[in-house]
Structure 1
Amino acid sequence: MNNSSIHNDYKQQIFDYFNRRTNYDQEGDFHPIVAHHLIQCADILPGQHILDIATGTGLVAIEAAQIVGNSGSVVGVDLSEGMLRRSQSKITAAGLTNIELKQEDIETIDFPYNHFDRIFCCCGIPYIPNIPTNLRQWHNFLKPGGIIALTGIAETASIVSNFLIKNAKNYGVKFPSWSEETATPEKCQNLLQNAGFEKIQVTEEQFGDYINFESAQNLWEIILHNPLTQMNFVKYLNSDQLNAAKAQYLAELETLVTPQGIWNDLTLYYMVGRKPISR
């Protein structure tokens, strides 16, 4: 694995944040389920060549490698060295020899055009700048007839994110939601269509649940340490403003309490598109 060039503050925060989160694949069933469902959307066949963007700890890459077999191959790309170390340990334990891991900036990765049969990006879209531009480049990496499969987050997801979007306006800050590009099925459709894909399918899966008040309180600190929040909200506010925002958040939580708890939505979209065979 070659060291990646981390060329700005945001990339450095992403690098540090995910180096601290190398056990995310052990935090319940959410990530393994999403990875498995995304793979099912893409109809992988033995012998195919796969690119897994923002591979993390290899949930998609490992399952894909088991399907394509030794006649196929998988390349997993991620910025986080810690994530890739965790992935490599799982690959070694599984005895797989058809996966190559690359520590690279996914905005600047360079692969031959018309090379991969399938490209995946599972739960990585919110952290990638310039998604339309990157999608067009990934389109180039796919063979004609190849399939791209991505996950996106709905605009209703996360009580904290939705609060921050509203609250940021009080401070003259625009806080882009994590679902900026994938907020609705229509946006997902347009995102892939504008990147040159056809036969697009967008399906929805609901992972939201009711949480207790204490858990909803704790989400504030968790989200505030996320790189997206740090770069788009925290850096613009002083400590008094942050404390005031937190107080407003807690007050709003009081209005959301139901007998079942507080609903924390997490709706995902699985987006699948095909590169045209000819133009």
Structure 2
Amino acid sequence: MSAQKTQHEVAQVFNQVAAGYDHAALRFFPFAADRLIMHLHPVSGTKILDLAAGTGAVTLAAARAVGPQGRVSAVDLAENMLDRLQEKIVKFGIRHVDLHTMDAAALDFRRDYFDYTVCSFGIFFLPDMVAGLREWARVTRPGGRLMFTAFAESAFQPMMDLFLRRLERYGIRSPDPDKPPAGMRLADPARCRELLDAAGLVNIDVTTEQLGYHLKDESEWWDVLWNSGTRGWIEKVPRAELESFRAAHLAEVRPLCNGQGLRLDIATHFAGGDKPPAPSSR
């Protein structure tokens, strides 16, 4: 599959789920956004680029961090996501955020412009992650920092394995069975380090944190699947069989619930590196 077609399909899925992306079951997005900005520790008045911004969890956290003297540029391929973010910007009267429908792998920004570049749970959708990071470094100033988040190996387990096996019973498999699903491409923290190093970044740091919580029950697990990138898999199930698929999957998830509900593991890597300083001229 061509890179262009892949990106088109990603945009299509996220346009589809935009209306439900802020569902309470998916509260790990704002949790991760707050932690990402805490790790980044941006200086007030600086410029931040937020890639794969979605409905703006990181964008809004970044806007608070840099204050009205700073600037945040939010980029996403899915226009419906940015429409939702625009509604929030208007609602809260935020004036220092700019929205751009743009491919994160081919940015229309000048070199060395942003003080910080971040991407939360989006880098693994890029066909070529190293090339993407190099592009992000291009628009970041020398000495500026790049950071991304990615799901660790235990995230969404064991429910995700049950979901994928259920899909296989319907003949739905990854186009490349030798490769993990997009969200698991960076499950190994060593792979995060390798990417940052290959992109020419320095002072690399990768830390892993658990951002999990309890869902009310298995029905909220379906809310997670239906309102996120996994919707693309669900849409491959024949419409006439979707309800039976849902019922069968939730029946196998139900025994995992306890008195507190259903535990949702959100082990998350926070990976970052600095763009090397410009060579000193003599």
For the aligned pair, the TM-score class normalised by the smaller chain equals 0.7 to 0.9
- Deviation string 1:18-54 (CA, Å, 9 cap, x unpaired) is 4323544x65753333212111111211232211112
For normalisation by structure 2, the TM-score amounts to: 0.76
Match of 2:180 in 1: 176
Indicate conservation of the 8 Å contact 1:156/1:162, yes or no. Answer: no
Decide whether aligned partners of structure 1 residues 115 and 15 sit closer, same or farther in structure 2, where only a CA change above 3 A counts. Answer: same
Decide whether aligned partners of structure 1 residues 167 and 21 sit closer, same or farther in structure 2, where only a CA change above 3 A counts. Answer: closer
- Deviation string 1:145-184 (CA, Å, 9 cap, x unpaired) is 1101211101111133223455667756527334433202
Match of 1:270 in 2: 270
SS at match of 1:202: strand
Count of residue correspondences: 270
Give the whole-Å Cα distance in 2 for the aligned partners of 1:111 and 1:122. Answer: 20
Indicate conservation of the 8 Å contact 2:15/2:81, yes or no. Answer: no
Give the whole-Å Cα distance in 1 for the aligned partners of 2:57 and 2:94. Answer: 13
Of 120-129 and 41-50, the range deviating more from structure 2: 120-129
Match of 1:106 in 2: 104
Indicate conservation of the 8 Å contact 1:154/1:179, yes or no. Answer: no
Match of 1:207 in 2: 211
Does structure 1 residue 186 correspond to structure 2 residue 184? no
Match of 1:219 in 2: 221
Q: For 1:128-277, what aligned pairs fall within 5 Å after superposition? A: 128-158=126-156, 159-165=158-164, 173=174, 174=177, 176-211=180-215, 215-216=217-218, 219-220=221-222, 223=225, 226-228=228-230, 230=232, 235=236, 249=249, 252-253=252-253, 256=256, 262-277=262-277
Indicate conservation of the 8 Å contact 2:218/2:257, yes or no. Answer: no
Q: Offset of 1:118 from its aligned partner?
A: 0.1
Give the whole-Å Cα distance in 2 for the aligned partners of 1:97 and 1:218. Answer: 35
Of 61-70 and 134-143, the range deviating more from structure 2: 61-70
Decide whether aligned partners of structure 1 residues 163 and 142 sit closer, same or farther in structure 2, where only a CA change above 3 A counts. Answer: same
Match of 1:17 in 2: 16
For normalisation by structure 1, the TM-score amounts to: 0.77
Does structure 1 residue 62 correspond to structure 2 residue 60? yes
Give the whole-Å Cα distance in 2 for the aligned partners of 1:86 and 1:241. Answer: 31
Q: Offset of 1:277 from its aligned partner?
A: 1.2
Indicate conservation of the 8 Å contact 2:73/2:97, yes or no. Answer: yes
Give the whole-Å Cα distance in 2 for the aligned partners of 1:273 and 1:33. Answer: 21
Give the whole-Å Cα distance in 2 for the aligned partners of 1:19 and 1:240. Answer: 24
Give the whole-Å Cα distance in 1 for the aligned partners of 2:187 and 2:106. Answer: 26
Gaps in structure 2 of 5+ consecutive residues? none
Give the whole-Å Cα distance in 1 for the aligned partners of 2:139 and 2:252. Answer: 46
Indicate conservation of the 8 Å contact 1:50/1:73, yes or no. Answer: yes
Q: Offset of 1:247 from its aligned partner?
A: 7.8
Give the whole-Å Cα distance in 2 for the aligned partners of 1:29 and 1:11. Answer: 21
Indicate conservation of the 8 Å contact 1:127/1:228, yes or no. Answer: no
Q: Offset of 1:98 from its aligned partner?
A: 2.1
SS at match of 1:200: strand
Gaps in structure 1 of 5+ consecutive residues? none
Give the whole-Å Cα distance in 2 for the aligned partners of 1:8 and 1:135. Answer: 16
Indicate conservation of the 8 Å contact 1:17/1:226, yes or no. Answer: no
Indicate conservation of the 8 Å contact 1:13/1:227, yes or no. Answer: no
Give the whole-Å Cα distance in 2 for the aligned partners of 1:211 and 1:57. Answer: 21
Q: Offset of 1:64 from its aligned partner?
A: 2.3
Identity %: 30
